[in-house]
Amino acid sequence: MDPTKTTLVELRDAIAAKKVSATEATRAYLGRIDRHNGPLHAYHETYADRALQRAADVDGGKITGPLAGVPISIKDNLCTEYGHTTCSSKMLENFQAPYTATAVVKLEQAGAIVLGKTVLDEFAMGSSTENSAFGPARNPWDTQRVPGGSSGGAAAAIAADLCAGSIGSDTGGSIRQPAALCGVVGLKPTYGRVSRYGLVAFASSLDQIGPLTHTVADAALMLQVISGQDPKDSTSAGVPVPDYTEQLDSPPQGLRIGIAKQYLSDANHPAVKRAIDQAVAVYRDAGARIVDVDLPHTEYGISTYYLVAPAEASSNLARYDGVRYGRRSPESTDLISLYSRSRAEGFGEEVQRRIMLGTYALSSGYYDAYYVRALKVRRLIKQDFDAAFESCDAILCPTTPGPAFRFGEKTDSPLAMYLNDVYTVNANMAGIPGISLLGGFASPDGLSHTDGGGLPVGVQFLGPLFEEAKLLRIARLYEAAAGYTHARPSLT
């Protein structure tokens, strides 16, 4: 068997049954990275020697667990004691973390093998990875197009079979949006479901860690491993973690799928509309009830997000001052020039833009008019979802307005770039879970079931707080009916 052409669950089972060794699987993925990472730039760095040693320990019985021998990647804003943690920024170009993120510790305790760290938009601020200080990742379906962001490298690595599973972070759609553009599964858990300890902070009240995989079952297994309360993270929730893999193929009884008119914009690409229509038909055929729900404050999501997130970013990124760690300008002559030069040299344009936006929103005289007002609207957005979930089990909507765009197409218009997250940011504002699945392809002849049918488009499911188990079962119903799980880009 070719270990790189399986799902995560299939590979885990094959290794356990000794149909393939962990060493063989790891070598196969490392070989594929050697062949394809050059043009894709999904990985910033890899850890071949360490990965092979851990694979040998799995084969020798020293390492066991529910992910024993499964090669994965992690986004380069998760701290590890090995390698570098750069956040794709010159500010942290040579930074080596003194500790490892809880999510990564849990994955390795479960037996997973970390192949390397993936490229992202600098400090997770972006929707295309074009903001990476070390060059963007590229979409495996068309390398002239973006893979999405900020977890673009992670999504590209999964889509191109450069790992069996990946971990990203989602602050305003940074797992789900690239998952949609690269045609894979991306899951943002409820805020507090997964410990953020060791995740380099962007916006602390919005950030959440989650998996990118080929299938819903793969995502369920990875979420199972990384979930749970952590004493090192005071925002992690003490809510019991159910077995996400249990009854995954059993749809909930009396299923109600909500459709919000606010997500059915005429600006959506025709293939996105067809994908949503197809998904609605799947649930109708399965006996689910389709109900209309109202999310009246949806239109304020982007403007609210781009006040709250930059405000928190300006506070979190104040620690990068050139004194204790990170870039230190050699041109500084006093304390003020040390701060200003180090930050000007270390931060890219988009990060600087958001720091300035956030600092302005928090400044004296503007705090109440901008930041406090944004927090009030955030509460209204959450109340919209609370009311909607009284009449439905999940909300079906697009993940993005359209397929992947070309490099440079939106870089001159920050607003156009920000609008790529119009269907994802509100889940972060409300703290609810969301999952994106491949919903079809944008091509001249519409939706295609073939690998080469065009560019992927995603469908998204949003659920109530801490209802990931039900959300995964709902998503699995669609995945099984749609039949896209084996779609892969053709790499040359």
Nearest C-alpha neighbor of 45 from the set 8, 18, 82, 15: 82
- State yes or no: is 303 an active-site residue: no
**Res. 268: pLDDT tops 70:** yes
- State yes or no: is 169 an active-site residue: no
CATH 3.40.190.10 assigned to domain 3-252+436-482? The reply is: no
Give the Cβ contact number of residue 47 at 10 Å: 19
Write down the pTM of the prediction: 0.96
| 120 contacts: CB under 8 Å, gap ≥ 6 | 75, 76, 77, 87, 88, 126, 129, 132, 149, 150, 151, 152, 153, 154, 168, 174
- Phi then psi for residue 483, to 5 deg, are 75, 35
Q: What percentage of the chain carries pLDDT values higher than 70?
A: 98
* Rounded Cα gap, residues 275 and 269, in angstroms: 10
Q: Parallel, antiparallel, or unpaired for β 434-442 and 455-462?
A: antiparallel
* Rounded Cα gap, residues 28 and 52, in angstroms: 11
Reported as a single tens digit per residue, the pLDDT across 400-410 is 999 999 999 99
**Res. 382: pLDDT tops 90:** yes
Q: How many residues does the chain have?
A: 492
pLDDT band at 444 (very low <50, low <70, confident <90, very high): very low
Both tokens of 439, joined, read: 């919903």
What is the CA 457 to chain-centroid distance, rounded?
A: 16
Strand order in the sheet with 43-46: 43-46, 113-118, 71-75, 165-170, 208-213, 185-188, 434-442, 455-462, 394-398, 256-260, 289-293
Nearest C-alpha neighbor of 136 from the set 151, 272, 113, 215: 151
**Res. 79: pLDDT tops 80:** yes
Per-residue pLDDT, 331: 86
* Rounded Cα gap, residues 125 and 115, in angstroms: 24
Nearest C-alpha neighbor of 295 from the set 263, 266, 256: 263
Q: Does the CA dihedral 224-228-230-234 come out positive or negative? A: positive
- State yes or no: is 174 an active-site residue: yes
**Res. 447: pLDDT tops 80:** no
Give the Cβ contact number of residue 319 at 10 Å: 11
Phi/psi region, residue 83 (left: phi>0; alpha: psi -120 to 50; beta: rest), is left
Catalytic residue among 89, 128, 174, 314: 174
pLDDT band at 461 (very low <50, low <70, confident <90, very high): very high
Q: What is the DSSP letter of 119?
A: -
What is the CA 137 to chain-centroid distance, rounded?
A: 14
Per-residue pLDDT, 446: 45
Catalytic residue among 75, 117, 410, 470: 75
- The angle at the Cα of 209, spanning 64 to 11, to the nearest 5 degrees, equals 35
What is the CA 121 to chain-centroid distance, rounded?
A: 12
- Buried b / exposed e along 254-288 (16+ C-beta atoms within 10 A): ebbbbbbebbeeeebbebbebbbebbbebbeeeeb
* Bond into 150 cis (ω within 30): yes
* Rounded Cα gap, residues 150 and 206, in angstroms: 14
Alpha-carbon radius of gyration of the chain: 21
Reported as a single tens digit per residue, the pLDDT across 173-209 is 999 999 999 999 999 999 999 999 999 999 999 999 9
* Rounded Cα gap, residues 104 and 108, in angstroms: 6
Give the Cβ contact number of residue 424 at 10 Å: 31
- The angle at the Cα of 139, spanning 204 to 306, to the nearest 5 degrees, equals 30
Per-residue pLDDT, 414: 86
Per-residue pLDDT, 449: 38
- Name the β-bridge partners of 398: 459
Domain ranges of the chain: 3-252+436-482
Mean pLDDT of the chain: 95
Per-residue pLDDT, 453: 56
Nearest C-alpha neighbor of 180 from the set 189, 170, 190: 170
Higher pLDDT, residue 23 or 324: 23
Both tokens of 106, joined, read: 């849990």
Catalytic residue among 150, 166, 169, 195: 150
